[in-house]
Amino acid sequence: MIRESTTKPQLGNLRMQFWRETIDKTFKGIPPQQPIAQVLYNSLEICQLSPLFFKRIIDERDAQLYDPPYINNKDLESYGENTASCLLYLHLQSLGVEDIQADHAASHIGKSIGIVTILRGFPYLVSKRRMLLPSAITSKYNISQEEIFRQGPVKGLEDAIFEIATLAHDHLLTARTFLQSTPNQALPALLSAVPCDLYLKRLEKYNFNVFDPKLAIRNWKLPFYLWYNYNKGTF
């Protein structure tokens, strides 16, 4: 990610502007001589993709360069909507799916993915002195950012993580309520919920301790779970 690979936000801004211009030119039919732009341009010949979703992703990544503080859970949801959900909308479009129920499911799955991404990356982010827990949550559980930066696990953190993980899980549950009315063609995109669900279950198993090293181990059963859910028509 650009935020993790640059030390100066201004340099990240330049890279984001490059991608904005690349998207604009590609959708205008004059793609730059750049591999990703060329592949995207060729894709536009076989599927209808919206430039809006690309721009929303870029804008959100651009905003993240300055480490904006998250105030409440809605900020977490907004991050997921503008990143993971937009990717899922594009995935649905690439599958030729235009369905409001599928869009609703993708929206909730994306929000869950965004939250889980923050939880999974929490130890790394803390090592870089970055705190993405909403201030309303840290205040509620009397959590000091500085103590987390110095010590890692602190009193109240597991309760805070439990609350945030519950929010992510609730979005998965809501997404599943749209399953019966969602076209089968949408399933490959919605299967993105599977690794998200597996992580939340493992997080619960380790008592919501995001610093538990076992959570960093790749789940070798993931391909099986994806195959199983695909054949069952679920996520």
- pLDDT tens-digit profile, the chain (235 residues): 545 556 677 888 999 999 999 999 999 999 999 999 999 999 999 999 999 999 999 999 999 988 888 999 999 999 999 999 999 999 999 999 999 999 999 999 999 999 999 999 999 999 999 989 999 999 999 999 999 999 889 999 999 999 999 999 999 999 999 999 999 999 999 999 999 999 999 999 999 999 999 999 999 999 999 999 999 999 9
pLDDT of residue 159: 97
pLDDT of residue 68: 85
75 and 15 in one domain? no
pLDDT of residue 11: 86
pLDDT of residue 152: 86
Q: Is residue 62, in this structure, part of any structural domain at all?
A: no
75 and 19 in one domain? no
pLDDT of residue 4: 55
191 and 78 in one domain? yes
183 and 78 in one domain? yes
131 and 18 in one domain? no
- Domain count for the chain: 2
pTM comes to: 0.93
pLDDT of residue 135: 94
What is the residue range of 116's domain? Answer: 69-232
Q: Is residue 56, in this structure, part of any structural domain at all?
A: no
7 and 89 in one domain? no
Q: Is residue 200, in this structure, part of any structural domain at all?
A: yes
Q: Is residue 42, in this structure, part of any structural domain at all?
A: yes
Q: Is residue 122, in this structure, part of any structural domain at all?
A: yes
211 and 122 in one domain? yes
Q: Is residue 138, in this structure, part of any structural domain at all?
A: yes
Q: Is residue 127, in this structure, part of any structural domain at all?
A: yes
Q: How far is CA 91 from CA 28, 125, 175, 188, in A?
A: 21, 28, 16, 8
